[in-house]
Amino acid sequence: MSMAKKKSKVLSITCAENIALLYFLHTVPALPSSNPITRSPIPQEGYSLSFEQEKSLADTLAFLSSTKDDPNLIPAVCIEEKPESNSMNVLLAVNRVTRQGGNKFLENVRERFEILFDVLSRASDGELNAFIYILC
């Protein structure tokens, strides 16, 4: 048996032992839970988007940012509306395996979002409404 196969076998056994030990600590994992929104938050004065619109926009941007089929690069998006400056911030995060992991991915998505937002900023109201209808 080659050295690589022996190492792989040892790692597999170690992993199985760890799973067995974790099973003894807690035999039944907690079931996934849901936190449904039972009522919309009270609208804040000066905000242009409703909570539902903001959530829909965040969902759409998260979908658009999912450019890789990689469990180590799962994006999350948050919308932060700034009524005092009539603007929005799009916050983008990605899970990381290493400290530097995901930096290139985040930079790529940021650049693509900037192109998208530039196009949207120059669109007429009719074009913008059609685009929003298609995406959301």
For the chain, give the mean pLDDT: 80
> 29-67: per-residue pLDDT in tens?
677 788 787 776 666 677 788 888 888 889 989 998 888
In angstroms, what CA-CA distances link 53 with 25, 57, 79, 87, 116?
Answer: 43, 6, 10, 15, 18
Q: What is the pTM of this model?
A: 0.62
Q: What average pLDDT does the segment 76-88 reach?
A: 86
Q: How far apart are CA 136 and CA 126, in angstroms?
A: 15
What is 40-62 written as a DSSP string? PPPPPTT-SS-HHHHHHHHHHHH
